[in-house]
Structure 1
Amino acid sequence: MSALPAKPTAKPTEPWRQRLIRSLLYGRNVDRAAKARARVGLAMLAFASVYALIGGRLVMFAIGADAHGARRAAAQEVVATARPDIVDRNGAILATDVKASSLFGEPRRIIDKDEAIELLTATIPDLDEAEVRERLKTRKGFVWLKREVTPAQQQAVHKLGIPGIGFLRENKRVYPTGNEVAHLIGLVNIDNQGIAGLEKWLDNQGLADLHRAGFATDRLQKPIELAVDLRVEHALRDELLKAKEKFHAKAASGLVSNVKTGEIVAMVSLPDFDPNNPKEAHDPDRINRLTTGVYEMGSTFKAFTLAMGLDSGKINLNSMWDARGNLHYGKFTIHDSHPLGRFINTKEVFTYSSNIGAARIALNQGVEAHKAFLAKMGQMTRLRTELPESAAPLLPRRWSELNTVTAAFGQGLSVAPLQAVMGINALVNGGYLIPPTFMKRSEAEAAAMAKRVIKPETSDKMRFLMRLNAEVGSARKADVRGYYVGGKTGTSEKVVNGRYAKKRVLNSFTAILPCDDPKYHVLIMLDEPQALPETHGFITSGWNTVPTGGKVIERIAPLLGIEPRFDLPPADRLILAASRTTQ
């Protein structure tokens, strides 16, 4: 039986979806080899176009590298100069950054520089034409033309449409409170870098390094909290302005310090300046007299003299001192402004502000003991705080007995007023020397750095003397009812042409409140106050700085949270009696 022929194997049927895709991709009856070559050519053309575009951009960057690099660098600098807000102890803003536009030019991109200069100086009249021309004629890629232009000026320049002229947004430092805290805050330069006050301190604390590292941006910086209370600052400044005008004084200054923490709650030095107008800060009359000035503090230094004697145990409050006549020392004569012509006790030395009595107390202690005590109280070396501006005390080259005699009542050595405040704080706060600070500080933090310099019982006696002086002595005009104020006056004759001038004085008043449990220390100073009919021709401290201090205390005590207490017993029954009980 013959074999049957094999049937051809049928191709599997192609799904319709594949047929559709094949038809769309290749069409019908097309030479696939030719089409593949066309696709390869198209791909090569596409890659060549991409590489040509990249090459063209590289050439453009190479040509304009300086200009673009400069703009990028400038933009980075805008970020780098961001500064943290500075706020008072209650969160009120004292200094902050705002965005401001600055005008720049790219000299290589400007086609007609003469025309550009003419248009710009016509649009912004305060542009210096010579300076703009000098900057635009350079070969640099980027130059500043004017920093911090107004929105109206920016809009006007935009309308000019000059190629190569543009604006960058940068940080501008503003001070919403103006003059209020000028000497404390300081100011910055056009590049937002601190050049004075706490602004300069911020840069010295590492802010400049953070700028360079790119970390000091607006979003990464916490506000700097100060110890100052803007409400107290305003009240102090307002009263000092009134006193300066009323007594025709050359200058006025004052501060409020927390005696238990060393915090500076307010500080004013007049005349001051507006940090929003930096030109004012260059006036030499507008220095911070409380930190950069050094002065003979006059009779306020008698507090140190009496504290030295009492702390030594060699004298007490009832020790007697010969004030029957002037004290002659070589060719010098020491006299009292209000001579009593009799023996006086230690309390009377303080309340009558006896130069003779203070001199005899200092001589009783000896030269070396006197120097050692003042050094211990921080009066012999430069005081350092957060403020970069400070001055070293002026001391005698060779300290003799005569220097001890005059220094006993505040002549012959000059210190910064803030330095004296630190020392007097220690006399009344229980005997602890605490470095002053402009930053917030707790009592626990202050106690950790405090150094005992006098005995607690000596501090009690000094508080008694301060209060006694407000009850019966030269501080009576500051005895604001309800606040148990104490204090010491000082009238220092200024040296003119090598001699003390009786009619040109620097007056000071240092007040403590409340004296039975001190919390705050107020210092008031007037430079060359003039006599008025109501002062009966007198220019001493009791007639000008003391009443000014009383007005300040009356305004700030409620702001500081001190509740008034009335009908309190006199100092000997309240302060001394409590001291004896404690001991």
Structure 2
Amino acid sequence: MAYITETESFLQVRKAKPRAAAGSISSGAVKSRVYIAMLAFVGVYIAFGARLAMLAETIDVPQSVRLTEQDRISASRPDLIDRNGEILATDIKTASVFADARRIIDVNEAVDGLTRVLPDLDADILRRRLESRSAFVWLKRELTPEQARAVHDLGLPGIDFLTENQRFYPGGTTAGHIVGSVNIDNQGLTGIERHLDKDWLADLQAAGFTADRRMEPVKLAMDLRVQHVVRDEVAKAVELYKAIAGVGIVLNVHTGEVVAMSSLPDYDPNDRSQALEQIRMNRATGGVFEMGSVFKSFTVAMALDSGKVSINDSFDATKPIRAGGRTITDFHGKHRVLSVPEVFIYSSNIGTAKMMLATGVDAQKEFLGKLGLTSRLETELPENAAPLLPPKWNELAAMTISFGHGISVTPMQTAVATAALMNGGKLIPPTFFPRTEDEANALAKQVVSPQTSKAMRYLYRLNVVNAGGSGKRAEVPGYIVGGKTGTAEKIENGRYVSNKRRNSFLSAFPMDDPQYVVLVVLDEPKPEREGLPATAGMNAAPTVGAIIRRAAPMLGVMPRFSEGEEPIEISY
């Protein structure tokens, strides 16, 4: 037996190794193939990565657009509430549909499906948008839940939704001209909504501080209950007297707060397209009109405050006045000498013109300026019209202005000026936001004396309780109502026409301590029935009475029947 040593075995293995590798691949070749495979894998990964990067790039654009758009449309607005906390305007969430046109697989299928569930979409416009290859195109804003569900169920690639804030006005038309409206991007267009944007809200939105954030509600001075009453009664009057338009205002004489304001025809801010219709304009602050005989209130106050006329004076109204080729007459002339109270309650144009002449043309211009009737009235609403003044403020112009012709102002200006005659002589700027009496007094300007204010309250009350007064149909037992009528003929083709009038009744209550001014204006009212006149005493005055009867208890003014039934002593 032969034994192989460890050394010999090692030598045999060493000698066999070259023979075993003779028919095999060299180690260098193996390494080369490994490197090639690795490079191939790397190349594939790079290709995949490049493709993914390209896909990511195509997705990033619409995603960034979506984020930007979402941030813009999610900007919140504060709730608007009335003085008692009732919601007037609030934000609600709604869905809007958009498309990434580059992801649309079949444009025809998308157009057919979308127009089927959203029939108001224009197929041609929709097709152009989907063929645009744009990363983000709006298809329809503010979908109803049913519409959003129907679009979702189509399952169309490239069609998606964004959630945005939509403004909702629970009261509809009730306070449309006060709260205003917003556009589809929730930006204020009119009314208080526009004021908030201009005042501070737009800056906060631009800085991104309002995105999906709950803000403190903004309280208005308006009382929604009284607002409903005013709109309801003015709407009834417009229908009953077949008028083409109407205005109603309730103003706090001590604070200047606008408690209610309605202008008909009005609009529903939930349907923003209505706000653009001219017929639905805000006539209370955005329209100027000749107010007619209610202007006699300012002429009488001017004359009494000047000291050149006393309430015991008289003026000859026996015959018309000829001036500048014009003849000034009385509608229902008494053709005799009239005391100052009689000039007022019988609404004598002749007596009023002579009262103005006793005071002076320059004094009239200055006095009306002090009352804010010759300049644009500033309120929080953007709809504030400037008055129309005579091109030449001469004696003839001054005489016609004395009884409300030849000068056009807004109904709100008229109410604000009258509040000064009722509250002791202080002109207080109006506001649609809450204000205390102390805050109002800090802004007030004394424009007439307390004695003149007291005299005007007496004349206003006299015009309602006197049998010959034009305001007797405004009387509400227990509320001591006073006021002045105005029946202004309208102008057509440069001439006054007798069959078209703008009637108004300017009132306050209770007259022993006035708290509120109430103004109603009816445009072209017709007689309630054949044979009756269509004067302000027949239509505007009873409308004011109806408003006071319903609204006074809401305003905390309690009736006092014992005082209201006492006769007023008249002394000339």
Matched, 1:66 2:53: no
**Match 1:259 to one of 247, 253, 256:** 253
Aligned-partner Cα distance in 2 for 1:311–1:52: 94
CA contact (8 A) 2:309 2:358 kept: no
Matched, 1:277 2:277: no
Secondary structure of the corresponding residue to residue 431 of structure 2: coil
CA contact (8 A) 2:422 2:457 kept: yes
TM-aligned CA distance change 1:444 to 1:51, over 3 Å = farther
Deviation at 1:111, TM superposition (A): 2.2
Aligned to 1:25: none
Question: Alpha-carbon deviations, 1:182-226, whole Å to 9, x = none?
Answer: 111111111111111111111111211211111114434111111
- Aligned counterparts, 1:159-558, within 5 A: 159-472=153-466, 473-533=469-529, 536-558=531-553
Q: Please list every run of 5 or more consecutive structure 2 residues that lacks an aligned counterpart in the other structure.
A: 1-44
User: What's the RMSD between the two structures over aligned residues?
Assistant: 2.1
CA contact (8 A) 2:303 2:356 kept: yes
CA contact (8 A) 1:467 1:515 kept: yes
Question: Alpha-carbon deviations, 1:116-150, whole Å to 9, x = none?
Answer: 22222222222111111121222321111011112
Deviation at 1:573, TM superposition (A): 5.8
Secondary structure of the corresponding residue to residue 308 of structure 1: helix
Secondary structure of the corresponding residue to residue 267 of structure 1: strand
Secondary structure of the corresponding residue to residue 489 of structure 2: strand
Aligned to 1:99: 93
**Match 1:75 to one of 70, 74, 77:** 70
The one-letter code sitting in structure 2 at the alignment partner of 1:500 is Y
Deviation at 1:245, TM superposition (A): 1.1
Question: Alpha-carbon deviations, 1:10-63, whole Å to 9, x = none?
Answer: xxxxxxxxxxxxxxxxxxxxxxxxxxxxxxxxxxxxxxxx99999987654333
CA contact (8 A) 1:84 1:218 kept: no
CA contact (8 A) 1:309 1:362 kept: yes
Aligned-partner Cα distance in 1 for 2:93–2:49: 36
Question: Alpha-carbon deviations, 1:90-118, whole Å to 9, x = none?
Answer: 11111111100000100122222232222
Deviation at 1:356, TM superposition (A): 0.6
Aligned-partner Cα distance in 2 for 1:452–1:220: 42
Secondary structure of the corresponding residue to residue 567 of structure 1: helix
TM-aligned CA distance change 1:468 to 1:144, over 3 Å = same
The one-letter code sitting in structure 1 at the alignment partner of 2:284 is L
CA contact (8 A) 1:85 1:95 kept: yes
CA contact (8 A) 2:73 2:186 kept: no
Matched, 1:89 2:68: no
Aligned to 2:133: 139
Secondary structure of the corresponding residue to residue 558 of structure 1: coil
CA contact (8 A) 2:181 2:190 kept: yes
Aligned-partner Cα distance in 2 for 1:459–1:198: 32
Secondary structure of the corresponding residue to residue 328 of structure 1: strand
Aligned-partner Cα distance in 2 for 1:317–1:197: 42
- TM-score with structure 1 length normalisation? 0.87
Secondary structure of the corresponding residue to residue 553 of structure 2: helix
Count of aligned positions: 526
CA contact (8 A) 1:260 1:443 kept: yes
Secondary structure of the corresponding residue to residue 510 of structure 1: strand
Aligned-partner Cα distance in 1 for 2:79–2:48: 47
Question: Alpha-carbon deviations, 1:523-547, whole Å to 9, x = none?
Answer: 011111112337x431111111111
CA contact (8 A) 1:183 1:269 kept: yes
Aligned-partner Cα distance in 2 for 1:212–1:54: 38
Aligned-partner Cα distance in 1 for 2:117–2:324: 74
Aligned-partner Cα distance in 2 for 1:353–1:432: 25
Secondary structure of the corresponding residue to residue 503 of structure 1: strand
Aligned-partner Cα distance in 1 for 2:48–2:568: 95
Aligned-partner Cα distance in 2 for 1:119–1:572: 77
The one-letter code sitting in structure 1 at the alignment partner of 2:432 is F
Identical positions, percent? 51
CA contact (8 A) 1:512 1:520 kept: yes
Secondary structure of the corresponding residue to residue 269 of structure 1: strand
Aligned-partner Cα distance in 2 for 1:573–1:339: 24
- Aligned counterparts, 1:146-165, within 5 A: 146-165=140-159
Aligned to 2:558: 563
* Larger deviation, residues 563-572 vs 405-414: 563-572
CA contact (8 A) 1:103 1:165 kept: yes
Deviation at 1:65, TM superposition (A): 2.2
Deviation at 1:347, TM superposition (A): 1.0
Question: Alpha-carbon deviations, 1:406-456, whole Å to 9, x = none?
Answer: 000000010011011111110111111111111111111111111111111
The one-letter code sitting in structure 1 at the alignment partner of 2:379 is T
- TM-score with structure 2 length normalisation? 0.89
Aligned-partner Cα distance in 2 for 1:485–1:275: 34
Deviation at 1:279, TM superposition (A): 2.4
TM-aligned CA distance change 1:67 to 1:355, over 3 Å = same
* Larger deviation, residues 564-573 vs 469-478: 564-573
